[in-house]
Amino acid sequence: MTQATATNISMPTGFLCIPRPQSLESVKVLRRVKLLALKELIRRPLDDLPPRLARAVGGARGMLDGALRRSPETVVEAVGAPDVLIDLLCLASGARPAEGLLARAVPNLLFQLARQAPRAHFTHNVLWDWPVERLVDERDGIVCDTGLQGMIVGPQGAELRGRSGKTLDADALRSDLLVALHPELPRLRLALFDDNPLADEEAHPDKSGNALDLSDHSVPDWQAGYRTALDLVERYLPEIFGEFRQTFRRLVPVGYGAEMHMSASYRQGPGVVYATLHPDPVTLAEALVHETQHGKLNALTWLDPVLDNGHTEWATSPVRPDLRPLMGVLLAVHAFAPVSALLVRMLRANDPLTRPPRFTKRLADVLAGNAHGLQTLAEKAQPTKLGSRVLADLNSLHMAVSQHAPAATASAEGVMWPG
């Protein structure tokens, strides 16, 4: 079978799983999460902030009120930048104190709007009179990490005031801290900085935190490794690669491992993936699909519980050594069902990367884990209406992949879901 016909092996589409052509389901969910974050910024009381910061945030909120009437979609898009959205979702969840979160998110939001048709957003100048550690405009590759006293944003753009009191030229601050990874994904960058306030938190028992680390490998090494992995996703899961154009924003390097690959993502950071470098491009491709799937389901949980008992009922995990809440089991299956589709399409195409014996064992392990997770969820989960839809679609995908998999790997059967 050729690579082209293997890619055309039909796989059932599903809600937040393998999308239909030109589907906007994931984009719509993410848009609603951005609106939730924006609402948190606009409506949150400011009386617990230092007075000067409260005035700066209040001035920004007054400007946003008008900008939302004139160009709402541009504002919502700017809120989706990782340097804004992560902090605002941390604010919404109470994960960190408000002062630090607002001191990062709000100036980044203002800076981006001031660089994108500022006359459409600003009718007057707005003073941000509070120190700024870093400003980021991903669109133009600008990262100002020299530290600022503050800035003025308005119809003429952004005037930045450095720590020395001198005015800085934003356009002169283009840096190599945001690196392109794939020509078909212009929004996706390898980030050589990370301000995520949750990066030191770790839920996996085999690793501790997600500190940025190139691990003695060059930036071109990282680009080449993940470019090859992204090419595999584009070839064998073009449906999900198409979603990457809208939803995958940033890859943060967190070390190298020749034997074990590690990756992570955060509910507060949809579109941001933390991952190690690994010599096997299939392993890297798996991780990209896995973590971006987490981002889609995590985004939905801001809008719907998905499982009513997702955090109160625990079970063995299909992929981890520790007990997991049922939501963790669902996250695992939701991540690995599309991974199994990637692997079986590669195998049916006789891709050279599938020839080592460990490849078929890997596919068998993934299918068995998905079957275990689906059975656990069928027995114990109490899904919401949207959760039932997610589970039914995952089960359909699992059964389809099992039917296309070689007999030695396709030992798992699906389970019945209501609705």
pLDDT at 200: 84
Average pLDDT rounded to a whole number, residues 361-371: 95
Residues 119 and 260 in one domain: no
Per-residue pLDDT tens over the stretch 197-216: 999 886 555 556 789 999 99
Judge residue 169's burial from the number of C-beta atoms within 10 Å of its C-beta, 0-12 exposed, 13-18 middle, 19 or more buried: exposed
Can you tell me the distance from the alpha carbon of 136 to that of 208, in angstroms, rounded to the nearest whole number?
A: 27
Domain boundary among 137, 153, 173: 173
pLDDT at 201: 80
Residues 375 and 314 in one domain: yes
| Torsion sign across C-alpha atoms 303, 306, 308, 310 | negative
CB 250 within 8 A of CB 275: no
Whether 416 has a pLDDT exceeding 50, the answer reads no
Per-residue pLDDT tens over the stretch 234-277: 999 999 999 999 999 999 999 999 989 999 999 999 999 999 99
pLDDT at 213: 96
Q: Is residue 417 assigned to a domain?
A: no
Residues 182 and 169 in one domain: no
Q: Is residue 34 assigned to a domain?
A: no
pLDDT at 150: 96
pLDDT at 206: 55
Residues 274 and 327 in one domain: yes
Q: Residue 99: which domain range?
A: 44-173
Domain boundary among 173, 197, 232: 173
pLDDT at 349: 94
Q: What value does the mean pLDDT of the chain take?
A: 92
Per-residue pLDDT tens over the stretch 1-42: 344 445 568 999 999 999 998 899 999 999 999 999 999 999
The full DSSP string for 39-106 is: HHHHHS--TTS-HHHHHHHHHHHHHHHHHHHH-HHHHHHHHTSHHHHHHHHHHHHT-S-HHHHHHHHH
Q: Is residue 76 assigned to a domain?
A: yes
Average pLDDT rounded to a whole number, residues 155-160: 94
Q: Is residue 269 assigned to a domain?
A: yes
Q: What is the band of 413 on the pLDDT scale with cuts at 50, 70, 90?
A: low
Residues 232 and 108 in one domain: no
Per-residue pLDDT tens over the stretch 46-97: 999 999 999 999 999 999 999 999 999 999 999 999 999 999 999 999 999 9
Can you tell me the distance from the alpha carbon of 276 to that of 354, in angstroms, rounded to the nearest whole number?
A: 22
Domain boundary among 128, 147, 173: 173
Residues 203 and 345 in one domain: yes
Q: Is residue 75 assigned to a domain?
A: yes
- DSSP code of 237? -
Residues 97 and 198 in one domain: no
Residues 153 and 194 in one domain: no
Q: Is residue 229 assigned to a domain?
A: yes
In the three-class reduction of DSSP (H, G, I as helix; E, B as strand; rest coil), residue 144 is classed as: strand
Q: What is the band of 170 on the pLDDT scale with cuts at 50, 70, 90?
A: confident
Structure tokens at 358: 């460990």
pLDDT at 412: 47
pLDDT at 59: 96
Place of tokens 């994108």: 116
Residues 144 and 201 in one domain: no
Residues 134 and 190 in one domain: no
Q: Is 150 left (phi over 0), alpha (psi -120 to 50) or beta?
A: left
Residues 164 and 184 in one domain: no
CB 116 within 8 A of CB 139: yes
How large a percentage of the chain has pLDDT more than 70? 93
Residues 163 and 231 in one domain: no
pLDDT at 350: 94
Q: Is residue 244 assigned to a domain?
A: yes
Q: Is residue 31 assigned to a domain?
A: no
Please tell me the total count of domains within the chain: 2
